[in-house]
């Protein structure tokens, strides 16, 4: 089910994780992804995630966070450190992580219940 993460009024942070899957079995990877979402959700500063994976194995996940301290705390979580190592060594042929500060957002989410802060903050296209 497609959705747009509900985000607060900016500023907040986005970790953009772009990757290309290696040509290996991804059963463990899929389970680990679910576990990482569970762990992320346990952090007070976690806001949400918007993941996408193409049939060719390329994908992107944008994970929204309240602040840099929470991003750093999640990065140091022991299970996340294992996931990162396995990602580098096994699951991904290529990947790139970008950490961004969201200064402004706007748009029209399809589902009014999953609205971003754009409507709440009076965001515009200009």
pLDDT value at residue 18: 98
For the stretch 8-44, pLDDT in tens is 999 999 999 999 999 999 999 999 999 999 999 999 9
Cα→Cα distances 63→24, 90, 100, Å? 25, 22, 10
Give the predicted TM-score (pTM) of the model.
Answer: 0.84
Q: What is the pLDDT of residue 108?
A: 80
Question: How large is the angle between the packed helices 68-76 and 78-86, nearest 10 degrees?
Answer: 70
Delimit the domains of the chain by residue range: 12-107
User: CATH classification of 12-107, choosing from 3.40.50.2030, 3.30.70.100, 3.40.640.10, 3.40.50.620?
Assistant: 3.30.70.100
How many other CB atoms are there within 10 angstroms of residue 99's CB atom?
A: 15
Which residues of the chain are modeled with pLDDT < 70? 1-2, 109-126
Residue 119 CA, chain-centre distance (Å), reads 22
Q: Which pLDDT score, from 0 to 100, does residue 118 have?
A: 37
**Nearest Cα residue to 35 out of 78, 67, 2, 71:** 78
Start-to-end Cα distance in the chain: 30
């Amino acid at each position: 089910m497609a959705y747009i993460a509900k985000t607060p009024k900016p500023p907040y942070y986005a970790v953009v994780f772009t990757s290309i899957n290696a040509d290996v079995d991804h059963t463990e990877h899929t389970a680990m992804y679910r576990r990482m979402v569970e762990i992320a959700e346990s952090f007070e500063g976690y806001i949400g995630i918007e993941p996408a994976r193409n049939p060719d194995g390329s994908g992107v996940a944008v994970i929204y966070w309240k602040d840099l301290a929470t991003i750093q705390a999640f990065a140091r979580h022991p299970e996340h450190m294992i996931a990162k190592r396995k990602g580098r060594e096994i699951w991904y042929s290529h990947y790139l992580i970008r950490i961004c500060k969201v200064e402004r957002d706007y748009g029209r989410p399809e589902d009014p219940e999953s609205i971003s802060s754009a409507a709440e903050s009076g965001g515009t296209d200009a």
